[in-house]
Amino acid sequence: MKQIIKSYPDNPAVASAFAKELVHLVSELAKSKQQINIALSGGSTPKLLFEVLSKEYSETMDWERIHLFWGDERCVKPDSPESNFGEADRILLSQVDIPAENIHRVHGESEPADEATRYEQVIKQQVPSNESGTPRFDIVLLGMGSDGHTASIFPHEIDLFHSENICEVATHPESGQKRITITGKVINAATNVCFLITGDSKAEVLAEILDEKPGFEQYPTSLVKPNIPATFYIDESAASAM
Ligand code: 6PG
């Protein structure tokens, strides 16, 4: 079954549409689950989503049930503008009534290998596993870089996707920045995987991946194949090469 692709005019429209669907999905999950485990993506794309959730859904979401994790985090202090947690906290978490104990940030300020081990334990403790013992998030949000990376699994380290571990230490190919990332088995175990991809810088690679053009397997994003196919929420710029 092919991925589901939902295209919108621009990033604000993607954020608005996805926010509405996310709220609905969470309310559906809340009918049968006491704790809903969501792994957030980082980078700039989800910031508009966080703004919409903060401004329009702060009273609608059942924050008591929602536990937030990060699919990847830069190894920086939480108050760094580079911090995925820091930005989500500034825009959203500090604006809604989510209990502090429901927020499971990656300690970007810690030694990377130690933090990958610690965060793996946090995920194992908080997120129920599937039949193969892999923690199964209810929702994993992902972005995609213009090089086809997702979470912090970059093409030059694509083998991290296949790691037996739950978390790995990754290295940004240009900056050398260390990152903590969940691995492919955790991504593909998730019940719902949602990509938010916008901007024309992603268009060429996104088209290669979705149209399975020759060499598409070089991109980590192409390896995201959960049981229920991922849904791609994209804007017209990102869709412009399809
Ligand atoms: C990160 C992300 C990363 C991001 C893509 C797209 O920490 O940077 O998790 O995978 O989703 O790089 O980033 P933009 O949304 O900034 O284009």
pLDDT tens string 38-82: 999 999 999 999 999 999 999 999 999 999 999 999 999 999 999
Query: Above 70 in pLDDT, residue 5?
Result: yes
Q: Is 34 helix (H, G, I), strand (E, B) or coil?
A: coil
Question: Which residue type is seen at 191?
Answer: T
Q: Is 155 helix (H, G, I), strand (E, B) or coil?
A: helix
Ligand 1 atom closest to Cα of residue 142: 11
The mean predicted confidence, pLDDT, of the chain is 97
Q: Are the C-beta atoms of 210 and 232 separated by less than 8 Å?
A: yes
Mean pLDDT of 96-104: 98
Q: What distance in Å separates the CA atoms of residue 157 and residue 154, rounded to the nearest whole number?
A: 5
| Residue of minimum CA distance from atom 10 in ligand 1 | 151
Ligand 1 pocket: which of 150, 175, 205 to mutate (most atoms within 8 A of CB): 150
**How much distance in Å is there from the Cα of 143 to the middle of ligand 1?**
5
Mean pLDDT of 26-36: 97
pLDDT tens string 211-223: 999 999 999 999 9
Ligand 1 atom closest to Cα of residue 70: 9
| Residue of minimum CA distance from atom 11 in ligand 1 | 143
**Ligand 1 pocket, Cβ-based, cut-off 6 angstroms:** 41-45, 72, 84, 143-145, 149-152
The separation between CA 30 and the C-alpha centre of its own chain, rounded to angstroms, equals: 20
**pLDDT given at position 1:** 55
**How much distance in Å is there from the Cα of 32 to the middle of ligand 1?**
31
pLDDT tens string 110-160: 999 999 999 999 999 999 999 999 999 999 999 999 999 999 999 999 999
**How much distance in Å is there from the Cα of 20 to the middle of ligand 1?**
21
Q: Are the C-beta atoms of 70 and 120 separated by less than 8 Å?
A: no
| Residue of minimum CA distance from atom 12 in ligand 1 | 145
pLDDT band at 3, cuts 50/70/90?
A: confident
Would the pTM count as exceeding 0.95? yes
What's the length of the chain? 242
pLDDT tens string 171-224: 999 999 999 999 999 999 999 999 999 999 999 999 999 999 999 999 999 999
